[in-house]
Amino acid sequence: MSVDLSYLGLVPDGVYFRWPTPKLVEAAVKNNEGHLLHNLAFAVRTGHTGRSPKDRFVVDDANTHDTVKWNAINQPIAEANFDAIFERIQQYVRAYSVWVQDVYAGADERYQVPVRFIGSAAWQALFVRNMFIVPEDDEYGDFKPEWNVIGVPGMSLDESLALQLGLHSSDFILVNFTRKLVLVGGTGYAGEIKKSMFTVLNYLLPEQGVLPMHASVNVGHDDVVTVFFGLSGTGKTTLSMDPERLFLGDDEHGWSDDGVFNFEGGCYAKTIRLSAENEPLIYAATERHGTTVENVAWDPLDRYIDYDDGDYTENGRASFAIDAIPGAILSGKAGHPACIIFLTADAFGVLPPVARLSPEQAAYHFSLGYTAKVAGTERGVKEPEPVFSALYGEPFFPRSHATYIKLFMEKLRKHNLPVWLVNTGWTGGKYGVGKRIDIPVTRAIIRAIQEGELGDVEFTTNPVFGFDVPLSCPDVPSGILDPASTWADKAAYKQEQQALAQRFIDRAATLELPAEVLAQNPRI
């Protein structure tokens, strides 16, 4: 089976069309793209160990000029410069074979986008099969790609040419909404493929009344849907994969008038310090043929992974199809949320393990998207650093923040949903002094929220941040709920609390927020 790619001006040396997982693994091994590990997962080093936001651009043309929020994240590139780079890709692939996969982005048939991935690495085609929705055999006859994604990790531009074309380096991630085409070159990090299509859906869906969400979702056996918003490292994947609940997806979803649906067909989990004890479902999924693991440490002799070794990077990743998770909802669709949880990893030890938010407070925290980086997660980070990413995923939302905030508030009020802020970060002091909140404690908090067990407990209002903090929670030591009481140095806590509150205020001042949302600033 083959396919003619001349409609894109591509005439590769060879085309391997819709190959299944076993053949892709064989090809990746044969091509020396990586190594098979003891569990038959495929391990690869991608060169780049994370996304490169400075190398991502959106074509500025008649369709996008007034609809994209241009800034340091949504950087414009001229149509002519996009075309010049595309021409070089067309020349490049003449000397290479490509692997082609036809997949869907979006589980809800009314909103899903048919995508053709064309790449020069077999292992990335394997990644695409893991991460997107693979059509059934009888669906392929009607498949017509609407978007095309071309990945050429081995092709970097000449540095001087890249600068002439308006880029910042020899690598590029380019999105053309008019031609429905994504170009990824120079970087082998597979997350660029996944996040590019997330960006596409985030641009398209608001016009159809769908709120795109950087969030994970699980569902109770009583059909109670929980949505978890959170940035990388806050526990979004870990906490949504609850053995006692059904699993919808770990990262990207849409919220339509009928409920929520997954954008993906797989999971892309962080693996640093992964353990069978704390994250049994994810750990088991990595022990599987067809799983890809990026940038992890493994023994060259017995080929066992050392998930505690972060010397190469703390951003090791595992990609696996969603059917690797027992209890996964394979349709990718569920009803409306019964509750929403914002996850943050506060490395300053200031925020409580759980707090209840009003609708206006929920919109405020959604607008700011706070978490923290700690030492070791990025080169040069010595002390905890605050991170604010609007909408809990700012780099992936091309339209103005107001577009998404308005949709969020409309849906929140329409369905009258409770919203909770859950801190998975530090207690008893900031990073380096205190300790990270244990996963079983956080799981107990999540369970109490989902089962409505916090509805009848007594709350106190935090005088600085204004949210309500429960005085008790089932299966959670009551002493941990008030962060100030866990610090030995009360003056130090007060200082860190004031400093974090000021950071919130400073960040909010840079955003275009409605008055009712801005009024939720902390009180110093």
Domain contains 392:
yes
Domain contains 331:
no
pLDDT at 79 over 60: yes
Question: Does residue 188 share a domain with residue 56?
Answer: yes
- 218 contacts 236 by C-beta, under 8 angstroms: no
CA–CA dist 475, 454 (Å, integer) = 12
Look up 194 and say whether it is catalytic. Answer: no
pLDDT of residue 132: 98
Residue of 251, 256, 346, 486 marked catalytic: 251
Convert the pLDDT of each residue in 323-337 to its tens digit.
999 999 999 999 999
Question: Does residue 352 share a domain with residue 300?
Answer: no
Residue of 18, 116, 236, 333 marked catalytic: 236
Supply the CATH number for residue 276's domain: 2.170.8.10
Question: Does residue 130 share a domain with residue 203?
Answer: yes
Convert the pLDDT of each residue in 396-438 to its tens digit.
999 999 999 999 999 999 999 999 999 999 999 999 999 999 9
pLDDT of residue 140: 87
Question: Does residue 341 share a domain with residue 488?
Answer: yes
Q: What is the 3-state secondary structure (H, E, C) of 267-305?
A: EEEECCCCCCCCCHHHHHHHCCCCCEEECCEECCCCCCE
Supply the CATH number for residue 95's domain: 3.40.449.10
Domain contains 225:
no
DSSP sequence for 177-210: TTTTEEEEES---THHHHHHHHHHHHHHGGGGT-
- Token pair recorded at residue 361: 């407070």
Residue of 196, 232, 319, 367 marked catalytic: 232
pLDDT grade for 138, boundaries at 50, 70 and 90: confident
Would you mind telling me the total number of residues written for the chain in this entry?
A: 524
Convert the pLDDT of each residue in 427-473 to its tens digit.
999 999 999 999 999 999 999 999 999 988 999 999 999 999 999 99
- CA dihedral (227, 229, 232, 234) in degrees, to 10, reads -90
pLDDT at 478 over 90: no
Convert the pLDDT of each residue in 87-102 to its tens digit.
999 999 999 999 999 9
Question: Does residue 307 share a domain with residue 434?
Answer: no
186, 208, 230 — which closes off a domain?
A: 208
Convert the pLDDT of each residue in 288-308 to its tens digit.
999 999 999 999 999 999 999
- 108 contacts 261 by C-beta, under 8 angstroms: yes
Q: How many domains does the chain have?
A: 3
Question: The whole model's pTM is what?
Answer: 0.94
CA–CA dist 258, 228 (Å, integer) = 19
pLDDT at 380 over 70: no
Residue of 194, 214, 245, 447 marked catalytic: 214
Convert the pLDDT of each residue in 102-124 to its tens digit.
999 999 999 999 999 999 999 99
**Mean pLDDT calculated for residue range 31-56:** 94
Look up 13 and say whether it is catalytic. Answer: no
- Give residues with Cβ within 8 angstroms of 110, minimum separation 6: 256
Domain contains 308:
yes
Domain contains 229:
no
Domain contains 256:
no
193, 208, 223 — which closes off a domain?
A: 208
Domain contains 362:
yes
Q: Tell me which residue range forms the domain holding 82.
A: 6-33+50-208
CA–CA dist 390, 31 (Å, integer) = 41
What is the Cα Rg of the chain in Å? 23
Look up 447 and say whether it is catalytic. Answer: no
Closest by CA to 80, choosing from 111, 59, 100, is 59
Look up 2 and say whether it is catalytic. Answer: no
Question: Does residue 60 share a domain with residue 83?
Answer: yes
Q: What percent of the chain has pLDDT over 70?
A: 98
Look up 214 and say whether it is catalytic. Answer: yes
Look up 51 and say whether it is catalytic. Answer: yes
**Mean pLDDT calculated for residue range 336-351:** 97
How far from 130 is each of 105, 108, 147, 177, CA to CA, in Å? 12, 18, 18, 25
pLDDT of residue 137: 84
Look up 489 and say whether it is catalytic. Answer: no
- Token pair recorded at residue 140: 């392929």
Question: Does residue 426 share a domain with residue 311?
Answer: no
Residue with tokens 């990025």: 378
Domain contains 165:
yes
Residue of 18, 48, 51, 365 marked catalytic: 51
pLDDT of residue 379: 43
Question: Does residue 200 share a domain with residue 64?
Answer: yes
Look up 170 and say whether it is catalytic. Answer: no
Question: Does residue 348 share a domain with residue 273?
Answer: no
Helices 21-30/122-131 angle, 10° precision:
150
Question: Does residue 79 share a domain with residue 54?
Answer: yes
pLDDT at 127 over 90: yes
Residue of 116, 245, 317, 373 marked catalytic: 317
Which residues are registered as beta bridge partners of 117? Answer: 101, 149
Question: Does residue 487 share a domain with residue 396?
Answer: yes
Q: Average pLDDT, whole number, for the chain?
A: 95
Question: Does residue 148 share a domain with residue 117?
Answer: yes
Residue with tokens 């866990």: 486
Residue of 56, 195, 253, 333 marked catalytic: 195
**Mean pLDDT calculated for residue range 273-297:** 94
Q: Is 396 exposed, middle or buried (0-12, 13-18, 19+ CB in 10 A)?
A: buried
Residue of 216, 237, 271, 371 marked catalytic: 237
pLDDT of residue 234: 92
Supply the CATH number for residue 452's domain: 3.90.228.20
pLDDT at 1 over 80: no
